[in-house]
Structure 1
Amino acid sequence: MWRKLPITGLTPFTFQDYPGHTACILWFSGCNMACGYCHNPELVKGTLAKLPAEKIQRFLASRRDRLEGVVLSGGECTLSPALPQLAKYLKNLDFKVKIDTNGTNPDMLERLLDGGLVDFIALDFKAPEAKFEAVTGMTRWTEFLRSLRLLTAAPINNEVRTTIHADLLDRADVEAMISLLEDIGFRGTFILQNFRMGPTLGNLQAPSTRLDLTDISRKRLNIQFRNF
């Protein structure tokens, strides 16, 4: 039952997190990755108290005529087996549903897509295969690649996002990621977002060098830059 999901936070309004739509964000606790630059360490570690389901229900009911969508973020929301039940509940309230995911649970993404329970997927592309484990702390490249292919074939809006910390990824890494996206036929938006200083899971400091990607090759991709 979705009411037992590890939802530990609620952002009541956002214009930025669901492109083209007003939305709220439900934050899920727990993640299977350990990315040093993660700005949500308390969600990764699962140290926050769960929000009462009744509070979430009351909030959503009060926003049916004010918000267009609900973003399910974290943490990693696809780790929760009851996620489809929550998505169905949101759809029954006439909300659009956006999923933020690291792509390590393609079975869940496929279930959501097949059920028509998701309208937008934002997939985090952490690193190319050669550096995937070093950046994420796990060996789930095959699962990520399957999720990327599912996303590419899905008839819904989507985006792929990569956080750039110049001590972790270099220009050759970014070009390899772009080549992979082009090779599999990805046609969504690829967002390159520069690392922002602040409390992080790995206590990362500012990179020792600056990586200029503004002239990166954009053969067939729509590439956007954030925080550069």
Structure 2
Amino acid sequence: MLSKPIYNITPFTLLDYPNHAACIFWYAGCNMRCSYCYNPEIVLGKGTIPFSEAISFLKTRQGLLDAVVFSGGECLIHKKIAVQIKDVKALGYLIKIDTNGSQPGVLKQLIEENLIDYVALDFKAIQSKFQQITQSELFAEFEQSLDILLQSNIRFEVRTTYHSELISTEEINAMVGYLDAKKYTGNYYIQFFRNHVKTLENLPSSARIKAASLLPALYFNTVFRNES
């Protein structure tokens, strides 16, 4: 039976890989169940596109696109992901990974084999709230992934989706303090929940956190996304 790991392909984006034209491979399935997830059909659904078809698409975009974003769901839970990333890398594309940090072993392998160029790491919640937010017991794995990235030369960002009914201002400040204690030096992106969109669970509208409520970080900048 032909494996179809990819749910969908976004053929062009200027937003998902900093300063590069890219496409996005949306891998089906995830090992977390965050209620605010914008991609319930990807998380709960099955793939529709075989990897061979994705490679054929990329061959038609050589010279037009710079990079491929591997996203999901959680792309790193797929057994053949390292081989598939290697095949894309061989075509000359930059590789970005969007990950929840639950697969530190795979992440370490990809870094050691020089297969990735940029990582967006989701920081779902502080440890005491992590299980409630993600419906998983994977905080230790997230922490390992963060430590691996901190010890590498890979460009990466850390990001959190903020919903005022799920994460308090005090908890966001605890997350800022956690990253400071790790001496993280990149941007910390707080992504405002977009109200009135389909998510994994029905949620009330979210209020915006105020910049004045956040504690200053010593080593990094906190940047808001989706402010409009």
Matched, 1:219 2:218: yes
> TM-score under structure 1 normalisation?
0.94
Per the alignment, residue 44 of structure 2 pairs with 45
| Alignment gaps of 5+ in structure 2 | none
Cα deviation, 1:181-227, whole Å, max 9, x if unaligned, reads 111121111100100020000121203x5432355213221221112
1:52, distance to aligned residue in structure 2 (A)? 3.2
Alignment size in residue pairs? 224
Per the alignment, residue 83 of structure 2 pairs with 85
Aligned positions of 1:86-101 closer than 5 A: 86-101=84-99
Q: Is the 8 A contact 1:5 1:82 kept in 2?
A: no
| Alignment gaps of 5+ in structure 1 | none
Per the alignment, residue 150 of structure 1 pairs with 148
* The one of 171, 178, 191 aligned to 1:173: 171
Per the alignment, residue 17 of structure 2 pairs with 18
Q: Is the 8 A contact 2:4 2:49 kept in 1?
A: no
1:78, distance to aligned residue in structure 2 (A)? 0.6
Worse-superposed segment, 53-62 or 138-147: 53-62
Task: Please provide the CA RMSD for this pair.
Answer: 1.4
> TM-score under structure 2 normalisation?
0.94
Matched, 1:106 2:104: yes
Alpha-carbon distance between aligned partners in 1 of 2:154 and 2:138, rounded to the nearest angstrom: 24
1:159, distance to aligned residue in structure 2 (A)? 0.3
Alpha-carbon distance between aligned partners in 2 of 1:58 and 1:214, rounded to the nearest angstrom: 49
Percentage of pairs with the same residue: 40
Q: Is the 8 A contact 2:67 2:96 kept in 1?
A: yes
Aligned positions of 1:129-208 closer than 5 A: 129-197=127-195, 198-207=197-206
Alpha-carbon distance between aligned partners in 2 of 1:7 and 1:149, rounded to the nearest angstrom: 28
Matched AA of 1:93: L
Cα deviation, 1:37-82, whole Å, max 9, x if unaligned, reads 00000111024x4213343122100111111100000000010121
Alpha-carbon distance between aligned partners in 1 of 2:138 and 2:4, rounded to the nearest angstrom: 24
Matched, 1:34 2:22: no
Cα deviation, 1:147-172, whole Å, max 9, x if unaligned, reads 11111111011000100000111111
Task: Please give the secondary structure, in 2, of the residue aligned with 1:4.
Answer: coil
Matched AA of 2:139: W
Matched AA of 2:33: A
